Structure 1
Amino acid sequence: MRLLLIEDDAVIARELALRWHARDWAVLGCTSLAAADEAVRDGGFDLVVLDRGLPDGDGLDWLARLRQRDRLTPVLVLTARDRVADRVQGLHAGADDYLVKPFAAEELDARVEVLTRRAAAARGELLQYGRLSWRGAEGQVLVDGRRLELSPREFEVLGLLMRRAPHVVPRRVLIDALAERNLDVGDSAAEVYVSRLRRRIAPAGLQILTVRGFGYRLALDEQDGPGLK
C-alpha cells in the first residue's frame, strides 16, 4: 500500500511513518500543500491522509482541487478541528473519512484499511440501470454516454443505490457509508445527498423513492408502489 501523508507536525509525521513502514506500507510525507501538489502529479497513491492547518493553506482547499481531477483516491482528513460543522465541511469537500486529533493509532490504521479495501472493490466495477451507467474505475456516471457531474459522496451514494436497484437500501447503510464512524455528523446527511441526487438523475428517467421506515430505492420513472413517495 502506498500512502501520501500531508502533515506539518514533525512528531506525528515521524511516528506515523515509522508505524506504517513497520507494516510494509510505503509512505511519502509532505509538510505543505505545494509539496502535495508535486506528489500527486504522478498519482499512484492508494490513500491520502490530510491535515487541514498547513503552512500554505487549508487542506480542504487542496482537497477540492484534487477532486476536480481525481474522484477515486480515498482521502482521510486528520485534524484537531473537532466541531461537527468542521466534520460536515470536510465530508462535503470530498473527504472519505474525518478523524480528530488526538487519535488512537490503531483506529487510524483500521480506517485506512477500510477505505483502501472499499476503493479497491470499487475499481473496475461497472453498474448499469436504465440510461444510467456507474463506472467505478473511472469515477464517472454517464447518462446516455454523457458524463453526469457528481461530488465524490454523491457518486458513492448512487453506487450503493445502483448495486441494489430496484430493491431498498436501508437508510442506516447510506448513513454509515457517508459518515463511516463519524455518526455525530447526523442522520440528515443521508437525506441531503439523496435530495441532491434526485435532482441530478431526474433527466435520466430515474427517481429515488423513499420507503417510509426503511430507506431508499432507485426506480425507473414508471415504477411506483405503496409506501413510496
Structure 2
Amino acid sequence: MKKYCLATLGLFITLTSFAQSTIIKYLSGTDKDHTVQWDFFCTDGRLSGKWTKIAVPSCWELQGFGAYNYGGDKNKAHETGMYKHEFAVGAWTGKRIFIVFEGSMTDTKVTINGKSAGPIHQGSFYRFKYDITDLVKFNAQNLLEVTVDKMSANAGVNDAERNYSDFWVFGGIYRPVYLEVVPETYIDHTAVNAKADGSFQLDVYAKNLKDGDIIEGQCKN
C-alpha cells in the first residue's frame, strides 16, 4: 500500500510496469432495461418448484416469483432463489479473474464449476467480488451457480435491511454481475481522505508489486 498527500482537484493513478487495461465482461445485463436470461428456481411462493428463466438483474418478485412483504410485516417469506448461468472464459492465462456482484438480496453463495468461490456474502446494498482465477477453465465454457436467500442468516443484517424498514423487502440479483480481468500486478482499490483545504490523503492498494514496479500519479487542477 502506498500513501500520498496531495493538494489537487483531480488524480489519475496507474502502474507503469504494464500497459494492459482491465477487461470487463458482463454475465448479466447492465440495468433493468437491458437484462440477460439465466436459469432460475424459486423454492416457495409464486412460480416456485420448477426450473425456468429469469431476467438478471432483477428482483424476483417483480418477475412473478416468490411473495411480497413489507418491512414492517412480522411474518416474512423466506424463499430462496437458485440461479445457473454458463459463461465463456478466453485465453486469459497470466491474469487474475474476479467475479463481481454489484448487489444481491441478500445472503449470496457463489460456486464456479461446482466449487465455492468464497464465503457467503451477507448484505444487500454493496458490491462484493471473488477471485475465481483458480476455479475457471480457460478457452472453455464455465458454470456459475448462485444461491440467494431472501432473508439473511445474520440477525443484524435482517434488522438493518429486512425488518422495520419503510419499503418492500425484495430478493434477487438486482444489480449487474460481471467478470473483471486484470494483469497479475494490479491496483485493487484506492481510498481518498479529502479535506476542506483542498488537500487529501490517497491510499493505493496494489497487488503483487515486484522490484522495479512504479505507481505513478497524475494531478490535474
Instruction: Tell me the TM-score range normalised by the shorter chain.
Output: under 0.3
TM-score by length of 1: 0.23
Considering only CA atoms, is the larger Rg found in Structure 1 or Structure 2? 2
Report which of the two has the higher share of helix.
1
Normalized per residue, the structure richer in strand is 2
Q: TM-score, normalised on structure 2?
A: 0.24
